[in-house]
Structure 1
Amino acid sequence: MRSNEIKAGTEHAPHRALLKSLGLDNNDLTKPFIGIANSYNTIVPGHIHLHTLGDAVKEGVIAAGGTPFEFNTIAVCDGLAMGHEGMRYSLPSREIIADSVEIMLQAHRLDGLVMISNCDKVTPGMLMAAARLDLPAIMLTGGPMAAGRFNGKKVSYSSVPEALGQVVAEKMSETELNQLEDVACPGCGSCSGMFTANTMACMSEALGMSLPYCGTTLATSAHKIRLARQTGKQILKLVEQNIKPSNILTIDAFKNAISIDMALGGSTNTVLHLPAIAKEADLTLPLSLFDEISKKVPHLCSMIPSGTYAIEDLDMAGGVPAVMQQIQAELNLNAVTVSGKTLAENIKNATVIDPNVIHPLNNPVHAEGGIAILTGNLAPKGAVIKTAGVSPKMLQHTGPAKVYDSEKEAIIAIRSRQIQPGDVIVIRYEGPKGGPGMPEMLIPTATIAGMGLSESVALITDGRFSGATRGGSIGY
């Protein structure tokens, strides 16, 4: 065991003295040391419940014969950071999270890692650390929040910024907006649509780094507690069998994840996160690979923000395993997973319970995947669009360019109703170099949608978009 470097032999008596000050006894010191990286805090809705999951993981670790050590990482709520200077800190936080997990595991010579995360940059940051460290590791994502209800319809966080556009267009009163904000986010968990947080939770499962059904199980469910306890037990098996991320995070695993991304119509931010994780595993995921897979894998799930179904509906319809079952011809079923089983074994008994949520191959939502890569004179190296959220009316668009040199300028123009149907909004200098920080721009895209312009106005930017973005929005 790697942890013997701080606990075995006479020369490590000083280390043992410190460990015993934690309340450990000699028996605890003979067991594998398991690090639990937890992004729990009390400001991010997706993370406020993670201390409960951490306790369940520790119970599982102890039950399976390990000694758990829990520590924290930072976590940014992109919704709270949106539309102001704070959004410049969101994407860079991913690297700090990866570094902090690496530091804790290396400094304390831990034998295995459980990652408890939930939001946009935290899940990929922790997966980057796992790939970099290449120690036995397993992910537990915290789960989505339940959908809200407003005027008899399901709503989510994305409904609120879109409602701002309705207020600007005088289609909604401020009183109704206040009523909506009271119910849109009814409790803990990652926001309830197929936004970046839930997309990355599903990607973790598709990569084989979390247990089956983990990606869609509700934050408030007893099933999530059971999964947490099971995750704590499973890390000991991974340590015992020395199953490491390098055994799991292969090029075939990443192709599986991209395929699931296309079937789900996930966030365009996967084109930033999956390649970053792959890079830590010494692999390369070119943009062309996303486009290649998109042309082969159909879009099967019409999820919020572009569709009507929340993550809770996907979970009840069969979850990620059921989606995998539908597109298994496009997957590498021999892929190794943290369950100790192959992907084929994981999805063997998966079934689609509701074909309205997970469409069959002969009746897809769209014939091609939910993300497309575009190239042209504006973006010779490629740009990204979430085709799952684009109206058929916007597949071709010509119009005058309204050019703004920052997101703030564009928002002022949109809210002052300077944008007309047919326009093309261009937002410059918000990319990784110009930004800095490559901020997400949900406020302009959501305001456009709320004003009823998402089928007649395009937006092009060197910045990036929230997973909640829909419409003719081309970024990256």
Structure 2
Amino acid sequence: MLYATDGVSSDDDFQKAMVGVASVWYEGNPCNRHLLGLGQAAKKSLTDAGIIGYQFGTVGVSDGISMGTRGMSYSLQSRDLIADQVETAAGGHWLDGMVVIPGCDKNMPGVLMALGRLNRPGLMVYGGTIRAGSCAGAPQLDIVSAFQAYGQYLQDGKTEAAERERYDTIRHACPGPGACGGMYTANTMASAAEAMGMTLPGSSSFPAESAEKEAECRSIGGVMRGLLEKNLLPRDIMTRSAFENAMVLTMILGGSTNAVLHLIAIAHSVGIELTLDDFQAVSDRVPFIANLKPSGQYVMEDVYKLGGIPKILAYLLKNNLIDGETMTVTGLTLGENLDRWTHKYGELSFTNQDIIRPLEKPIKETGHLRILRGNLAPGGAVAKITGKEGLGFTGKARAFDIEDDFVTAVESGSIKKGEKTVVVLRYLGPKGGPVSSWALDSVTMLRA
């Protein structure tokens, strides 16, 4: 049957490695709409390197589009579905290796879980971040700007002027392909994957439409050939120290709470046990220094302009916060990769920029992710405390069993800005959702 495929044209082709190229391509989401093209470029690179590439796709769910609807119940399970699909296609066809190309939130952990289970030579190419949007008076728009615009519209009394401003924000928040621009789940998990050594240097901060992203895809063939020749496997790369590096970078950047959920799952796929206590231990010793959305001002595109995630990792290595001896998909250690990067692009500078602060002048002296325990969460809970909230809060609680009821309460004015109120959205967990849902759009209505 292989004679009938595009990859095999002669008997000699059976001596070549066969590598899958799995992209989470979907036209209906800016995070994923361009991934087919990136996959085609990666496949051509494999062909040029004397490797047969077989491209296939997997399904994905856009958190930004499904947020606040029943569609969000499909988001988390899409992670495991992606992992199953990639593993099934690669395992069922005895592919020698895998190139995985994710774009949206649950895509990254899904493909990394698959690589961990398969444990065949493989690497990840992140689809890349979106460019920042802009409109009158708002030069740094992203998806959360659109969520906040509705809350601001309600606060402004639903006037015609408020509606024009809301529409202008929504219309320009997402200007093209790429994942949500702030340090949300997609950029967090891409950065974590790079810290673990599962991507090429710079992959997590190259924008989707950048020349560097195209060049990354064109280099995949040579990288995969090196992985195959050395038989360098995901479990050789995703070690305990690699996960420690990922946790440290997540704390430094102010990354998503979802990193806890996903890194634990990825670790499980390679036989490593991570716990909530591990994250708390890292949070206790690592400061928060990145002025990135949602808590800050900037987006991943600004990190790219600053020199990318490798410059930040090199700064952390220089200050003994990460392990530079971990192996990466380049066949070099993380430290060797970072040394090459800084030799070419220079070290992280704190002059004329307030995107990344020096360690001695952090936004918060300990990590922003805190593990909470108590009668409300006997099994533990993850909170994001960025330093603006203070150390305590006293106020009334408003509980809602249905998220739509909370939105109605905000729209009707029964929950007002400035009131000391804790909003509790119940039944959004694995049983009540069903499947854990995220209420980011509801939360951002309160931030407006």
Q: Map of 1:20-419 to 2, 5 A cutoff?
A: 24-150=9-135, 151-170=137-156, 173-328=162-317, 329-348=320-339, 349-350=341-342, 351-354=347-350, 355-388=353-386, 391-392=388-389, 394-419=390-415
Counterpart CA distance in 1 for 2:53 and 2:139 is 43
Count of matched residue pairs:
433
The AA in structure 1 aligned to 2:141 is V
Please report how far the alpha carbon of residue 323 of structure 1 lies from its aligned counterpart in structure 2 after TM superposition: 1.4
Would you say the 8 A contact 1:318–1:353 is kept in 2? no
**What CA distance in whole angstroms lies between the structure 2 residues aligned with 1:313 and 1:379?**
37
CA distance in 1, matches of 2:12, 2:368: 52
3-state SS in 1 of match to 2:199: coil
The residue matched to 1:158 in structure 2 has which SS? helix
Match of 1:407, as an amino acid?
E
- Three-state SS of the structure 1 residue aligned to 2:378 is coil
- Checking the alignment, whether the CA contact within 8 Å between 1:326 and 1:360 is kept in structure 2 is no
| In structure 2, distance between residues paired with 1:145 and 1:232 | 25
Do 1:114 and 1:232's aligned partners in 2 also have CA atoms closer than 8 Å?
no
Q: Helix, strand or coil for the counterpart of 1:205?
A: helix
- Partner of 1:153, secondary structure, is strand
Conserved 8 A contact 1:56-1:232? no
**Structure 2 SS opposite 1:74:** coil
Cα displacement (A) at 1:136? 0.6
Per-residue deviation, 1:152: 4.4
SS in 2 for 1:114: strand
Quote the offset at 1:105 in angstroms.
Answer: 0.5
CA 47–16 in structure 1, closer or farther in 2 if over 3 Å, else same: closer
| Segment drifting more, 351-360 vs 202-211 | 351-360
Partner secondary structure for residue 271 of structure 1: helix
C-alpha displacement at 1:414, in angstroms?
A: 2.2
Q: What code does the residue aligned with 1:396 have?
A: G
Q: CA deviation at 1:418?
A: 1.6
Shift of 1:183: 1.0
Look up the equivalent residue of 1:176 and give its one-letter code.
Answer: E
Q: Which portions of structure 1, spanning 4 or more consecutive aligned residues, are displaced by more than 4 angstroms? A: none
Contact 1:143/1:216, CA 8 A, preserved across alignment:
yes
Contact residue 129 and residue 205 of structure 2 kept, 8 A: yes
Shift of 1:24: 2.8
The CA distance in 2 between the partners of 1:54 and 1:26, in whole Å, is 26
1:465 corresponding residue in structure 2: none
1:458 is aligned to: none
The structural deviation recorded for 1:61 is: 0.8
Aligned-pair identity in percent equals 39
Most deviating of 162-171 and 282-291: 162-171
What letter corresponds to residue 210 of structure 2 in structure 1?
A: S
Cα 1:242–1:22 shift into 2, 3 Å? closer
What secondary structure, in the 3-state scheme, does the structure 2 residue paired with 1:130 have?
Answer: helix
Deviation of residue 230 (structure 1)?
1.4
Letter in 2 for 1:138: L
The partner residue of 2:440 within 430, 442, 467 is 442
Question: Equivalent residue of 1:415, what SS?
Answer: helix
| CA offset digits 1:137-195 (Å, max 9, x no partner) | 10000100100112142111100111110111116711111111111111100011111
Paired residue secondary structure (1:284)? coil
Contact 1:198 1:215 in 2 (8 A): yes
**Structure 1: runs of 5+ lacking an equivalent:** 1-14, 451-476
Which whole-Å CA distance do the structure 2 matches of 1:86 and 1:406 have between them? Answer: 14
Verify the 8 A CA contact 2:198 2:237 in the aligned structure 1.
yes
CA distance in 2, matches of 1:377, 1:315: 43
Equivalent pair of 1:316/1:353 in contact (CA under 8 Å):
no
Opposite residue 326 of structure 2, the aligned amino acid is A
Query: In 2, distance between residues paired with 1:278 and 1:22?
Result: 34
Normalised to the residue count of structure 2, the TM-score between the two structures is: 0.94
Deviation string, structure 1 residues 420-466 (Cα, Å, up to 9, x no partner): 4111111111111221111110121011111xxxxxxxxxxxxxxxx
Q: Is the 8 A contact 1:145 1:218 kept in 2?
A: yes
**Do 2:200 and 2:329's aligned partners in 1 also have CA atoms closer than 8 Å?**
yes
Q: What whole-Å deviation, never above 9, does each CA across 1:240-274 have from its counterpart, x for those lacking one?
A: 11000110111111010000000000011011100
Q: Which runs of 5+ in 2 are unaligned?
A: none
- How far has the Cα of 1:55 moved from its partner? 1.9
1:378-418, Cα deviation, whole Å (9 max, x unpaired): 11221111223x524x4310111111112222222222222
Question: What letter corresponds to residue 314 of structure 2 in structure 1?
Answer: Q
Q: Residues 144 and 189 of structure 1 are in contact (CA less than 8 Å); yes or no, is this contact kept in structure 2? A: yes
- Encode CA deviations 1:266-306: one digit per residue, 9 max, x unaligned: 01101110000001111111001111101111111110111
What is the DSSP-based 3-state SS (H/G/I as helix, E as strand, rest coil) of the residue aligned with 2:78? helix
In 2, distance between residues paired with 1:23 and 1:257? 39
TM-score between the two structures when normalised by the length of structure 1: 0.88
Judge which range, 71-80 or 50-59, deviates more: 50-59
Residues of 2 paired with 1:219 and 1:18: CA distance?
A: 34
